[in-house]
Structure 1
Amino acid sequence: MKMNKSFIATTAILAGVISLSANATVKTVDMKPLSEHISVSQYKGNVQSSKELPQITWAEDIRTVLANGSSQSTKNGSVFDQYNLDYKLVLKDSVINQAKDYISGKTPFFRGTLDQVVQLNELVYNDPKLRPVVFNLLSWSKGGDVLVADTSVKQLSDLKGKKIALTAYGPHTFFMWRALKSGGLTFNDVDVVWMKDLLGSAETPANAFCDSQMGVNATFVISPEGSAITEGDNACKNSSVVYGTAQASKVIPDVYVVRSDYYETHKDEIQRLAHAMFVAKEKADEVTKNTKSSEYKTWMKASATQLLGSEDLTEDVKAMFKYDANHAGFAENVEFFTDERAGRNFERVTTEINDALIDMKLIKQRLPLTKATFDWNAFKTGLDHADDVKVSAFNSEVTKKIVSEMQANDTLDDEQFMSEEVKFSAGKSTFVFNPAYHGKVFDKLIDEATTYDSTLIIIQAHSDPSYYLINKFKKKAPESTLKRIRQKAWNLSEERAKEVRRAIIDYARNVRQIDIDESQFETVGYGIEKPKTGICGGEPCKVNKKGKAAKKAYADNRRAVIGFTRIEAEVELSDDDFDF
C-alpha cells in the first residue's frame, strides 16, 4: 500500500510512537486456542438484532461504506436500501470482542480473515446454532500485508531460527505459516512472540520489532506499519520489506459469516446482502473511474471517518482501496465457492488453514466449515458484468520485455524469493516423469502458483558445458565449431524451459484438476552462459576434478530452475495517476 506521510505519522502516534529506545521491553501475550479465552456458555444468547454489521480496518470495508450510502447507518437510496437492508456499520478490529458479540447475539455477523473464522468455528462448534456460515468473499489481500525484517533476512528460507513478532488472533497468522512453508520451513523452525494489538497501542508487532531488547528479527504487519518502520524518522534496524501479499495475493481471504441459526431463518436476507455486495463492487468500479466526482469524494471522506477515525486521512483511504486488495465481486465468489478446479477455492484454502492452525496448536481438530448455499444464477440480475471471463494476469509482451532486460542485466535471480529445480539427462529437452520426485516438486509448484497468482514465475534452463570445454581445450576445435556448440546448447536450454512449463500446466490440469494461468509462466534459456560450475574469464570454468567426479559436477548444470519473483502483474491505473 502506498501511504501518505499523514497516515504513517498517525500510525506511529496511535502506537505510542514506534520506539527505538532501550526502555521497558514491549509486553507479549500467550497465544492459545480461542476456547481458552472465551467461555461460550458465559456469553451465549439469541440474536438480539441484525442491525449491526461489523467492519475491520481494511480496504474492502470501504466498499461496504459505499453500499450503505457513504454513511454509518443505511441511507435512503443506497445499494443496501435498494435491497431492503438496514444496517449500522460498527468498526470492530478485535477478534475477541467480535466473537463475544457474535456468541451473545448482539449481532449475527462476524467479519474477518478466513483463518480467524476457522478459529471461531472450533470455539462454537459444539452448538450447531452458533456455527459460522461463510457467505461472502470480500477480497484477497494484495499489497496490504507485508513481512518486514532486519538485514539477516533476505528471502523466506532465511527466517529459520529467527524471532518473529505477530499479532495474536490477528490477520497474519496463516500468512506467516504459509510464508514459512514457501521457504521450506515449519512453525517449529522459528520463535514467535505474540503481541496484543495490530495497531493503536504500544503492544504491537511493529513496536516489538523496533525494541532493541526484544531481539526480534522479523514481523508481519499491515503495510502502513511496514512503511512506518522502514521509512523516514521511525525507521528502525535498517529494515526492509522482504515479502508481502503483493506477491502472495491468494493467501489472505477476508469474508463475512453469519450464525447458523440466523442463516436458517433469514436466508432471503443473507442472499440479498451477498447480492448487494456484488452490486456495490460494480458500483465502486464505476465511481472510482471519476475521482473528481462529488460521489467519490463523499464516499472516501465517509470511509476515512468510519475506518480511520478522521476525515483528514481521506487520501490514505483512497490508497488503501486502490492498492491493498483484490476486490472480489460476483465472478470471484463463484470461482471461490463453486469451482472445484480453482487452485485456491474455499475447500482447498480451508483445508490448508486447518493444517496451519493445528500445526501451531491454535485449534485441536479439523472441523467442517459451512458455506452458504445460493442460487448463483439469481445474482446475475442487476449485475452488468456477471458473465465476464477472467483474463490473464500478465501481459505476455510486457513481461517478455521485462524478463529480457533483467536477463541482460543479470538481475533475474535478485528478484526471486523461492525456487525449485528439475534435472535433465544429457542432450535431452524432455524428462521422464518420476511421481516420487517430480510429483512432489510439481505439487508444491502448483500450490504456490495458485497462491501467488499475481507473481511471475520464471523458468530458467541451462545446459552442460562439458562438451564445449572438451572441444575447446582437449580437441582444440576451431571457433566456428565452438560457436555452433554454444548455439545448440542455448537451443537445448530454451526447449528445456518450455518443456518444464508445459509439464507443470499439464500436471495441474490433468492430475490436480486445477486450471492455472499460463501467462504467469515465462521461460528463459541460458545455454552454457550461467553454469553452476561458474564462469571464468567469460568462459565456463573447468572444474578442479577428474573422471566421474568431474562428469557429475558438469551434469548438475543440466537443469531448469523455477523461480518465483517479486515481479507483479500489471496494476490498473486511473487518469489521475498520470498527473505528475
Structure 2
Amino acid sequence: MKHLQALMLLGASIFATGGQAIEYSDQAPLADTLSATVKSCRAGTDSLSVPMRTSGVDIIPLFANGYQTESSADSIFSDNDITVSLFLENDITEQVKKYLSCESPIMRGTQGMLNAVADLTENDPRTKQVAIYQHGYSNGADAIVARGELSSAADLSGATIVTQAYGPHLAYLSRILADGQSAVERNGGTWESPTIRYTSSLMGFQGDTPGAAFLDDPENDAVLVTSADAQTLTSGGNTGTGAEGSVKGATIMLSTRSANRIISEVYVVRADYLEKNREQVRNFVRAMFSAEEVFREDVVKQVVDWNAAGELLLGDPGADSEAKDLWRNVETVGVDGNDRWSQADGSRSWKTMNNRIQSVMVASGLLSSAYDLTVADWDYSDVSGDVFDKRRAELPSFDSNATASAVKNMKESGELEENSLMEFEIHFQPNQRTFSQAEYRDEFDRVAELAETYGGAVITVEGHSDPMNYLRKKHNGESNHQLRSIRQAAKNLSMNRAIEVRDSVIEFAEDNRRTMDESQFVTLGHGITEPKTGLCEGDPCPPQTEAEWKSNMRVTFKLVNVEAEASTFTPVNSW
C-alpha cells in the first residue's frame, strides 16, 4: 500500500498550486528558545523508556522488543533481563524535554542532533550525555536536492539552502559545505557563504518542511530531505518534471548513498541514570548487539515482520515496502563498529565527529560553546557477550568491473565532470616515478579522509603527462607514426603514475590505520589529451611559462557520484 506516498503527493500538490507560504525558524542555540525542568533520575526503575526515530536502524529495537512497544515475554530484551518501553519521537526538542525530566533518560538521534542540544544537557552534571551505542550510518536515507544548475558541493557557494532546525541533517550540511569550500579555494576561487533557512518540521510537504519550501519558493536553491521526499521532488530520483509534486529540473545532487559516513545514528544516556542503573543500561546495549545480529540473519531468511515496522515507525501497517526501504537506506556497524567508534583517536569516532560538528555549530551560533561529550567507559567486545560479529563480512564496496565501466561510460558521454562532487590535484616533477608518504602526506591524508567519508562514491585517480616532447617532435617534422607512438607512450606513463599514486595512498592508509577500500578507486591515464594549458587545434597548447609547463605534470583525484549505477554497489546490510 502506498498511503504515505499518496499523502506526500497531496501535500506537494497543495504547495505547488500556491498554498500557504513557509514560515522559517530563527536558528539560535536551543537553550535560548526552550526551557525545561531538570529532575534527578532514580535507581531501580523497572522499565527503560527509549525513543525511536523514523529510521531503518530503529527496526532493531522494535525487533528486540518482539515487534511491540512494550517488551514481550519472549523478546530479546526480556532474554537479557531488561524491560523496554519504546515510543516514536522524531523531534529532538521533545526528546530533550523528556530527557531533562528523566521521563526518558535516553535520547536517540544523529550526532548532529545531539550536539545541537548540548547547551541544555552539559551544564548540569546529572544530565550530561554519555554515548552508549552507535546504530550505524545513513546510507541512502537522506539527500540534498538541488535545482538543475547545481551539481557539486562547490556549486553551493552563495546558494540558498533549506534544512530542518535542530534536525538530523546539520552535520551532513556542515560537512558538505566545508568540502565545497575546500574545493573552491583549492582551485583558486572565492567561497561565498550560503544563506541557510530553517524549517520547524522535516518530512513531507504539508506544513513548514524543507520539501514544501523547495516547492513553494524558487529562490531556494537546495534542500536537505529524506530519501522519500527526494524521490518525490525529482520524479522518482531522475530529473523533476514539475508534475506530481516534483520541481522541474530538480535532481538529487548528493545522497548519503555516496556520503555514507556522515550521519551517525546513536543513543546517549543521562550521566546520573547510568551511574544508578549501570547494569540495566549495559543489558540494553548487549541486547541491541544480539538483536542487530539476529535481525540481519532474519532479513536474509525473509522472515521479518515488515508490517509491524511500518505500523510503529510510519503509522501505517500497510507500509511494508516503505519499511523495507528504511532498512535498505541504513548501514549498521555491530560490535566492531562500536569499538572503533568509542576510541577517541578514530577518524569516525564519537569524539572526532563531535569536534567537527561543534566547530561549525559554535561558529554559526547554534551552540554557545564547545563541549566534551563523553562515551561509556566499557569494553564493547565484553559488553556484547557471545555475539558472533565476525560474520559481518568485509566485502568490497564496489564491483570493480561495473564501476570501471560506469566511469568509462560517463567519460565518453561527457558526464564525468557533471558527476564529480569535488576534485583536487597533486603535482610531480619531470620523470618522477614514485610518490613518497613524506612528500605527499597532506594530499594522501586528504584522499583517505574523502574515501572514508564518501564511501559510496568512486574516486578516480587520473594521470596526465607533459606534452612538450610531443610538441617538439611535431614542430621538427616527425612522422605521424612516430607521433602516435609518443602519444601512446605518454598515455602509458600517465596510467602508471595514476596506479603508483593510488597504491601509495592505500599504503599510507594501512600504515596509519585508516579504512580504505581498493575497489573504490578507478585509475585513468589521459596522457597529453587533457592539458592544463588547453587544446589548440586538437593538440596541447604550448606552455608559455615554466609554471604552465609544470601544471601539466599532475594526478587529479575526482570524487564521482555513481549512485545511478546501482549495479556497482554491494548491499551493505547483507551477510
Q: 1:459 to 1:247 in 2, by over 3 A?
A: same
Q: Alignment partner for residue 465 of structure 2, among 453, 463, 466?
A: 463
Question: CA-to-partner distance for each residue in 1:98-126, whole Å, 9 max, x for gaps?
Answer: 00000011111101001111222332212
Unaligned runs of 5+ in 1: 576-580
Post-superposition offset of 1:66: 0.9
**TM-score, normalization by structure 2:** 0.89
Q: 1:391 to 1:466 in 2, by over 3 A?
A: same
How many Å separate the matches in 1 of 2:139 and 2:573? 18
Partner residue in 2 for 1:34: 30
How many Å separate the matches in 2 of 1:406 and 1:496? 22
Q: Alignment partner for residue 255 of structure 1, among 260, 266, 287?
A: 266
How many Å separate the matches in 1 of 2:157 and 2:194? 6
How many Å separate the matches in 2 of 1:109 and 1:574? 26
Residues 1:311 and 2:317 are matched in the alignment: yes
Q: 1:98 to 1:400 in 2, by over 3 A?
A: same
Post-superposition offset of 1:375: 3.1
Say whether the 8 Å CA contact 1:343–1:516 is kept in structure 2: no
Residues 1:384 and 2:388 are matched in the alignment: yes
Q: What letter corresponds to residue 463 of structure 2 in structure 1? A: A
Q: Alignment partner for residue 354 of structure 1, among 351, 358, 366?
A: 358
Q: 1:339 to 1:525 in 2, by over 3 A?
A: farther
Say whether the 8 Å CA contact 1:164–1:218 is kept in structure 2: yes
Partner residue in 1 for 2:188: none
How many Å separate the matches in 1 of 2:263 and 2:58? 15
Q: Mean alpha-carbon deviation: is it higher for 65-74 or for 492-501?
A: 492-501
Q: What letter corresponds to residue 529 of structure 1 in structure 2? A: T
Partner residue in 1 for 2:482: 481
Say whether the 8 Å CA contact 1:455–1:520 is kept in structure 2: yes
Partner residue in 1 for 2:195: 191
Partner residue in 2 for 1:560: 555
Partner residue in 2 for 1:137: 134
Q: Secondary structure at the match of 2:389?
A: coil
Q: What letter corresponds to residue 35 of structure 1 in structure 2? A: A
Post-superposition offset of 1:127: 1.0
**TM-score, normalization by structure 1:** 0.88
Partner residue in 2 for 1:274: 285
Question: CA-to-partner distance for each residue in 1:225-247, whole Å, 9 max, x for gaps?
Answer: 11122215100242111011011
Q: Alignment partner for residue 240 of structure 1, among 236, 247, 251?
A: 251
Post-superposition offset of 1:463: 0.8
Q: 1:398 to 1:181 in 2, by over 3 A?
A: same
Q: 1:30 to 1:287 in 2, by over 3 A?
A: same
Q: What letter corresponds to residue 325 of structure 2 in structure 1? A: A
How many Å separate the matches in 1 of 2:349 and 2:121? 24
Percent identity over paired residues? 27
- When the two chains are superposed, the root-mean-square deviation of aligned CA atoms in Å is 2.7
Say whether the 8 Å CA contact 2:290–2:384 is kept in structure 1: no
Q: Secondary structure at the match of 2:424?
A: strand
Q: 1:410 to 1:31 in 2, by over 3 A?
A: closer
Q: Secondary structure at the match of 1:51?
A: strand
Partner residue in 1 for 2:187: none
Q: What letter corresponds to residue 307 of structure 1 in structure 2? A: L
Q: 1:33 to 1:336 in 2, by over 3 A?
A: same
Q: Alignment partner for residue 155 of structure 1, among 152, 157, 163?
A: 152
Q: How many residue pairs were aligned?
A: 553
Post-superposition offset of 1:339: 7.8
Partner residue in 2 for 1:265: 276
Say whether the 8 Å CA contact 2:203–2:225 is kept in structure 1: no
Partner residue in 2 for 1:225: 229
Q: Alignment partner for residue 25 of structure 1, among 17, 21, 25?
A: 21
How many Å separate the matches in 1 of 2:34 and 2:426? 49
Unaligned runs of 5+ in 2: 185-190, 236-242
Post-superposition offset of 1:564: 0.6
Q: Secondary structure at the match of 1:234?
A: coil
Question: CA-to-partner distance for each residue in 1:237-295, whole Å, 9 max, x for gaps?
Answer: 4211101101110000010111111111211111211111111111111111133x4xx
Say whether the 8 Å CA contact 1:424–1:559 is kept in structure 2: yes
Question: CA-to-partner distance for each residue in 1:354-393, whole Å, 9 max, x for gaps?
Answer: 2121122111222111111223333453323347563432
How many Å separate the matches in 2 of 1:433 and 1:267? 45
How many Å separate the matches in 2 of 1:275 and 1:104? 26
How many Å separate the matches in 1 of 2:173 and 2:555? 28
